Amino acid sequence: MIEFSNVGLRYGHGPEILRDLSFNIEPGSFHFLTGPSGSGKTSLLKLLLLSLKPSRGTLHMFGRDVMSLDQDALLEMRRHIGIVFQEFRLLDHLTTFENVALPLRVLGQPESAYRDNVTELLEWVGLGERMEALPPLLSGGEKQRAAIARAVIGRPDILLADEPTGNVDPELSLRLVRLFAELNKLGTTIILATHELPLLDSFAFPRMVLRDGEIRIDG
Amino acid sequence: MADATMEARVTEVSVSAQRRAAPIVPERSVAGRTLVLLIAIMTFLSGVTLGGVVLVQKSAIAWSTDVGREVTIQLRPIEGEVMDSNIRTAIALAEATPGVTGAHAISLEGSQKLLEPWLGTGLDLSTLDIPRLVVVELGDPTDVDLSMLERDLAAIKGASLDTHSAWRQQLNVMAGTIVLSGVLVLALIVLATVLAVVFATRGTMASNREIVDVLHFIGASNSFIAGEFQGRFLSLGFRGGLVGGIGAVLFFLAVAGVSGSIVPNEANAQLNFLFGRFALGLDGIAGIAAVVPVIAALTAITSRLTVRRFLSQTS
């Protein structure tokens, strides 16, 4: 599903942030992405989200060479990838329901077409009673569950998460990762970036460890 | 109990289904009031300029047409010539010219009255030899052989033909200059509006960067994002345009009312005769009304292009 081959990344004429990354991600797998701050986790996630293109090497996703894709093809491919951020990035003027439904709304679907799906998903993540609440009124855990729901409402094949537990307490962190594990069981490929060792130790998923721009896969 | 909870949820969902989805670009995030005011002012200025141009052009055309339908034969008093006889001859020659529908002489009293604005009233002009005028009315001004009439009139001593062409030419040049100036002012107003909308859009994009990023991450196309901003600006443009357009129409109605009430009736009638009435008419109001959607569309298109440019630079 994802094939990195000698991928390097640099910003402008600066030094390489990522060097010679070569690895494969199989469909339906769950990987932690970890490493110290500044090791390039977020840059790697940006490559996976197609926000950046590699400076060198080849990157294949869904069997296609990313480097050869035009803007429209990249946009179409990006719709198969969900993303969850540490800082949630919900739109404060939209209700929880509207935030979660946003990926379907931008595809031009009418509310009548997605209302039941969004409601069902919000029930599943435990936000059934908070559908009409605005994000500023939600707790950190509720916000992150809403962000996860928004990331998966379009049924992406790949779900990326950038420190999704960074703003919640340890107990809630475990519950959130269990939620990702549930999604993984349903077939979604998950790559979850975190530097919280207790969290990594609580689950037996393989780890991609980034250090000084190079990657090592454990497990 | 479970049924009751489910029922409550269904009700909640139904309520949310009936509610219109909130706009993705929040209204308050756009510099709304300032932009509406600015667009209202620009539309008002456009409307007043357009209305002024329409007024000038209508008056010039009306005046030129009226003047063009008449020519004047002037008969200067010359010793040894009998004025009444010459007048009759001039009328006969005029009426014999193809395309002339009628000719009549202005009486001596009428001629004296024409001089009153220059010489004043109450003077005894009987001792002066006043030139006499014969008004020749034309059917179709383009289908009259005035050179033939001029040649015929050469037989009458002291007779000359005045076609008012110099006046008409001067009037047309003046009206054309005013219309051209108006068009130039309109173009500058449009340019200023476009620039203002470009700056407002850039400011809005910068302050809504988070929304743009989120929309990108969830797979929104540049076209969709531009459409969301365009919709917001179209609404603002229309509101501003409507306020400015109504203001411009009210301005002309007020000025027409004031000029009618301040200027004495007699003078007003003469002014109307010379320059036309200070009223826009339906075509003028329609012109100003047309400015409103044009300004709104201009605002929307400008914002869309600015957003597309912004997105292509940042993607």
Summarize pLDDT for B39-82 with one digit per residue, the tens: 899 999 999 998 888 888 888 887 777 777 888 999 888 888 78
- On chain A, the residues whose CB falls within 8 A of the CB of B211 are 91
**Nearest residue of chain B to residue A103 (CA atoms):** B218
Here the tokens at position B40 are 């209202």
Residue A100: closest C-alpha in chain B: B218
What lies within 8 Å, CB to CB, of A88 at 6+ separation is A135, A143, A144, A146, A147, A167
- Scanning A83-205, the segments in alpha helix (DSSP H) are 96-105, 111-124, 140-152, 170-185, 197-202
Q: Which amino acid is at B88?
A: R
Give the model confidence (pLDDT) of B220-257 as tens digits.
Answer: 888 888 888 888 888 888 899 999 999 999 998 888 77
Q: Does the structure show a pLDDT above 70 at B123?
A: no
Are A185 and A30 in contact by the 8 Å Cβ rule? The answer is no
**Average pLDDT over every residue of B95-119:** 82
Q: Which long-range contacts (CB under 8 A, 24 or more apart) does A99-104 make?
A: A99/A135, A99/A146, A99/A150, A100/A146, A100/A149, A100/A150, A100/A153, A101/A153, A102/A150, A102/B24, A102/B214, A102/B215, A102/B218, A103/A79, A103/A150, A103/A153, A103/A154, A103/B218, A103/B219, A104/A153, A104/A154
> How far is B65 from B178, CA to CA, in rounded Å?
18
**DSSP secondary structure string, A174-213?**
HHHHHHHHHHHHTT-EEEEE---HHHHHHS---EEEEETT
Contact B87, B159 (CB under 8 A): no
Amino acid type, B45? L
| pLDDT over threshold 70, residue B30 | no
> How much is the mean pLDDT over chain A?
89
pLDDT in tens, A169-182: 888 888 888 888 98
B12/A contact by beta carbon, under 8 A: yes
Is the Cβ pair A105, B21 closer than 8 Å? yes
The predicted-structure confidence for B165-207, as pLDDT tens digits, reads as follows: 788 788 888 888 988 998 899 899 889 988 888 888 888 888 8
The answer to whether A113 contacts chain B (CB < 8 Å) is: no
The pLDDT of residue A27 is: 93
Residue, of A5 and B17, whose pLDDT is higher? A5
Query: What does the mean pLDDT of chain B come to?
Result: 80
Q: Is B269 exposed, middle or buried (0-12, 13-18, 19+ CB in 10 A)?
A: exposed
ipTM: 0.85
Mean pLDDT value of segment A121-145:
91
Q: Nearest CA to CA, how far is A174 from chain B (Å)?
A: 25
State mean pLDDT over A75-83.
90
B164 or B247: which leads in pLDDT: B247
Q: Residue A91 and residue B24: Cβ atoms within 8 Å?
A: yes
pLDDT digits (tens, 9 = 90+) for A16-43: 889 889 999 999 999 999 988 888 888 8
The secondary structure of residue B205, as a DSSP letter, is: H
What is the band of A75 on the pLDDT scale with cuts at 50, 70, 90? Answer: confident
In this prediction, residue A137 carries a pLDDT of 94
In the prediction, which pLDDT does B59 show?
A: 81
CA B86/CA B273 separation, integer angstroms: 31
* pLDDT at residue B6 is higher than 70: no
| Cβ distance of B221 and A75 shorter than 8 Å | yes
Q: Are B67 and B135 in contact (CB under 8 A)?
A: no
A46: closest chain B residue by CA: B217
B9 CA to chain A: closest CA distance, Å? 8
What's residue B156's pLDDT? 87
A-B contacts at Cβ under 8 angstroms:
63
Confidence (pTM) = 0.67
Nearest Cβ partner for A115 among B13, B221, B224: B13
Confidence of residue B275 (pLDDT cuts 50, 70, 90): low
Confidence of residue B8 (pLDDT cuts 50, 70, 90): very low
* pLDDT class of B2 with cuts at 50, 70, 90: very low
Chain A contacts of B221, Cβ < 8 Å?
A: 72, 75, 106
**Res B99: pLDDT:** 84
Of B16, B21, B315, the CB nearest to A131: B16
Q: Which two tokens stand for residue B308?
A: 């597309």
Cα Rg of chain A (Å, integer)? 17
B21 reaches A (C-beta below 8 A): yes
Interface with chain B: mutation pick from A105, A114, A118, A162, highest number of B CBs within 10 Å:
A105
Give the Å distances, CA to CA, from A86 to A32, A144, A145, A160. 15, 8, 11, 11
The confidence score (pLDDT) of residue B81 equals 79
Q: What is the nearest CA distance from B305 to chain A, expressed in angstroms?
A: 18
B217 by DSSP, 3-state: which? helix
Task: Locate the chain B residue with the closest alpha carbon to A89.
Answer: B214
pLDDT at B1 over 80: no
Residues of B in contact with A83 (CB under 8 A): 217-218
Of B7, B216, B217, which to mutate for an interface test with A (greatest number of A Cβ within 10 Å)? B217
pLDDT reported for residue B96? 87
Do A158 and A188 meet the contact criterion of CB atoms below 8 Å apart? yes
Residues of B in contact with A97 (CB under 8 A): 16
Query: In the Cβ-directed half-sphere of B314, how many Cα atoms lie within 13 Å?
Result: 15
Which pLDDT score, from 0 to 100, does residue B5 have? 42
Distance from CA of A89 to the nearest CA of B (A): 7
pLDDT of res. A133: 94
- Which of A98-102, B103-107, B236-240, B270-274 has the lowest average pLDDT? B270-274
Whole-number Cα distances in Å, B225 to A37, A181, B48, B312: 33, 33, 35, 12
DSSP assignment, residue A75?
A: H
| Best to test chain A binding among B19, B211, B218 (most A CBs inside 10 Å) | B218
Name every residue whose Cβ is closer than 8 Å to that of residue A136 and which is 6 or more positions away in sequence: A92
Q: What is the per-residue pLDDT for B11?
A: 43
Which of B13, B22, B315 comes nearest A119 by C-beta? B13
Contacts of A6 (CB under 8 A, 6+ apart): A20, A21, A22, A56, A57, A58
Cβ <8 Å between B219 and A107: yes
- Integer-rounded Cα Rg, in Å, for chain B is 33
Give the Cα separation of B162 and B178 in Å (integer): 27
Model confidence band, residue B158 (pLDDT cutoffs 50, 70, 90): confident
Which among B210, B218, B315 is the nearest to A102, CB-wise? B218
- Interval A82-109: pLDDT, tens: 999 888 899 999 999 999 999 999 988 9
Tell me the average pLDDT across A141-165. Answer: 90
Helices (H), B208-315: 209-217, 222-262, 265-275, 281-314
- Partners of B11 on chain A (C-beta within 8 Å) are none
Residue entry with tokens 């975190």: A194
pLDDT at B170: 85
pLDDT tier for residue B262 given thresholds of 50, 70 and 90 = low
Q: Is A150 on the interface with B (CB under 8 A)?
A: yes
Query: What single-letter amino acid sits at A56?
Result: R
Question: A106, B210: Cβ pair inside 8 Å?
Answer: no
How many angstroms separate the CA atoms of A93 and B308, rounded?
A: 23
Mean pLDDT along residues B150-163: 86
Distance (Å) from the C-alpha of residue B307 to the closest C-alpha of chain A? 17
- Stretch (H or E) spanning A76: helix A71-78
What is the pairing mode between strands B70-75 and B132-138?
antiparallel
Q: What percentage of residues in chain B have a pLDDT greater than 70? A: 83
Are A97 and B16 within 8 A, CB to CB? yes
Task: Select from A119, A122, A150, A155 the residue whose CB has the most chain B CBs within 10 Å, as the one to mutate to test that interface.
Answer: A119
Q: How far is B193 from chain A (nearest CA, A)?
A: 29
